[in-house]
Amino acid sequence: MTRRIVYGISLWVFLGSVGCTIASIALPNWISYYSPVEGSEPIRITLGLHKRCSSITGRCSPFPQYDDCRGDDRSFCSIWRSTGFFMNFSVVLLLACVVAYITILVGGRGTREVGWRLLCPLLAVVALTQLIAMSLVAGVYEHDARFFVGWVLDKSFILCTVSWVALLINAASVLGASFCLVPEDDYEEIR
């Protein structure tokens, strides 16, 4: 039996994960390149899911562009766009989680007793979609020739990792609480 306090704490952890997810999508910092230059500003290039920023030009442009997706680079484009899809899909699933939390917390005792059966798998699926997105970026980073020495996995990658790990721990905690806690407001047997 899961109590209201368990869902309340779980909701706060969930909201932290939502913040990490949205920040990882919005920031153009999945993979970065930094090179110090003597006597001038260092060169910094950052890649986000949908844009590329450069200190050389001083602006951001859409990414990947058509030139990035021709010839042998087609697989890179497919993987990068798939990553964007998985992250955006995880936001849709996060909205479903918000509805589940509201339903469970506003609903009565009966809703809280069975709410974990919907919430835990939903949180796990969101974590899985983010894990897939993170894995795709890590695979491209390790195996694509465009990422030579100097390129690093950056803030958005870390935020995505923190988000899916927190969601998975959150789901496991609610699941554990549902089996370990005694029913709330239960009657004691009279002997």
Average pLDDT over residues 80-96: 97
Confidence (pLDDT) at 65? 84
Q: Mean pLDDT across the chain, nearest whole number?
A: 91
Residues 100, 172: Cα–Cα separation, whole Å? 16
Residues 83, 88: Cα–Cα separation, whole Å? 9
The DSSP 8-state label assigned to residue 73 in this structure reads G
What residue ranges define each of the domains in the chain, with the CATH number in brackets? 4-29+77-180 (1.20.140.150)
Tokens of 8: 């309340």
Average pLDDT over residues 144-155: 90
* Span 153-187, pLDDT tens digits: 999 999 999 999 999 999 999 999 988 987 766 66
Model confidence, pTM:
0.89
* Residues 107/115, Cβ–Cβ less than 8 Å: yes
Confidence (pLDDT) at 67? 79
- Contacts by 89-97 with C-beta closer than 8 Å and gap 24+? 89/129, 90/21, 90/126, 90/129, 90/130, 90/133, 91/21, 91/22, 91/25, 93/122, 93/125, 93/126, 93/129, 94/17, 94/18, 94/21, 94/126, 96/122, 97/14, 97/122, 97/123, 97/126
Confidence (pLDDT) at 18? 98
Average pLDDT over residues 112-121: 93
* Residues 82/136, Cβ–Cβ less than 8 Å: yes
Query: Which residues lie across from 96 on neighbouring strands?
Result: none
* pLDDT band, very low/low/confident/very high, at 70 (cuts 50, 70, 90): confident
For residue 171, how many other CB atoms are within 10 A of its CB?
23
Average pLDDT over residues 92-102: 97
* Span 13-62, pLDDT tens digits: 999 999 999 999 999 999 999 988 888 888 999 999 999 999 988 899 99
Give percent above pLDDT 70 in the chain: 94
